[in-house]
Amino acid sequence: MSAVEPRVDPAAKPPSAWARLRESDVFHSFVSTPSAMIAAAFTVIAILACFAAPLIAPFNPFDPAQISLWDGKLPPAWVEGGQAQYVLGTDNQGRDMLSTILYGGRLSIIVGMAAVGLGMVLGVGLGVIAGYVGGALDAVIMRIADVQLTIPGILLAILINGIGRAFLPPEIREEFAIYVVIIAIGLTDWPQFARVARGATLVEAQKEYVQAARVIGLPGWLIMLRHILPNTLRPVLVIATIGLALAVIAEATLSFLGQGIPPTTPSLGTLIRVGNEYLFSGLWWITLFPAIALVVLVFAVNLLGDWMRDALNPKLR
């Protein structure tokens, strides 16, 4: 079946960006996939809630003036002995669980996004260069990626994290822990992005618009930046979304193992670890609620990534 070609009147007013989005197949796929909409809603609410933590959280868990050890280890409000002001109870230091989860979630999301951003910039950059230049450079970059992929990601992250901490002077170690974690997870992430970006680059570089740019005489870096990079971003976006979920988990794992964010400014992973110590003394809420928050966040982001992979893949449409 020959498709009906678009025939536009060039003189007509071009549609606005919003109108283009409304008309796009991706938008249509989104509004006709309930799971994607629910996942997006959860993701957006979770991210907004975490970033608005200072505004909406009932307490500031980092403000010693608001913490009272007398209120420590209180159960959730609906359990006997709970207090109405601490909806989800308090932890061992008397911090409100709900506030701590919101602040901790914010930290987890920031670390995840920054780590994915680092991995993406590194991986996509190297992948596009490898794919476009080819030859020995391609072989070297991709073999490094292959070797790194044979090592389990979390082990590598622990290793990089450990080395990073060892190089920091002890007095600033706590303060810079978050950056070390970001670098550790980001460096673990990049081969995925490199592979996807290289594959897409190989396809795009064959296309005639790239040849046209070469005939114009544009230098290689400009062709990569302006022509190839924008056209490889679709699959990269999918990887990045799923990668965000994985990075949040990686951060939680590191923190749970005591290698990540220190308990003074807890992330979700740190909260779960701290709560874990009290689990057998019956203080289940300290570990359960952060865990639920983590699972919901990761699940929603993952679901969104799954939908994106299908919607952005022209072969499945």
Residues that bind other proteins (CB under 8 A): 1-14, 28, 207-209, 211-218, 222, 226-227, 230-231
Q: How far is the CB of 140 from other proteins (least distance, A)?
A: 18
Q: Please, what is the minimum distance in Å from the beta carbon of residue 225 to other proteins?
A: 12
Residue placing its CB nearer to other proteins in the complex, 80 or 208: 208
Q: Which is nearer to other proteins, 2 or 150 (CB)?
A: 2
Comparing CB distances to other proteins, the nearer of 9 and 80 is: 9
Q: Which is nearer to other proteins, 1 or 166 (CB)?
A: 1
Supply the minimum distance, in Å, between the C-beta of residue 92 and other proteins. 53
Give the residue with the Cβ less far from other proteins, 13 or 170.
13
* Residue among 214 and 309 whose Cβ is closer to other proteins: 214
Minimum CB distance to other proteins, residue 222 (Å): 8
Question: What phi-psi label fits residue 138: left (phi over 0), alpha (psi between -120 and 50 degrees) or beta?
Answer: alpha
Q: Which token pair is 47? A: 């991210």
Minimum distance from residue 8 beta carbon to other proteins (Å)? 5
Minimum CB–partner distance for residue 211 and other proteins (Å): 6
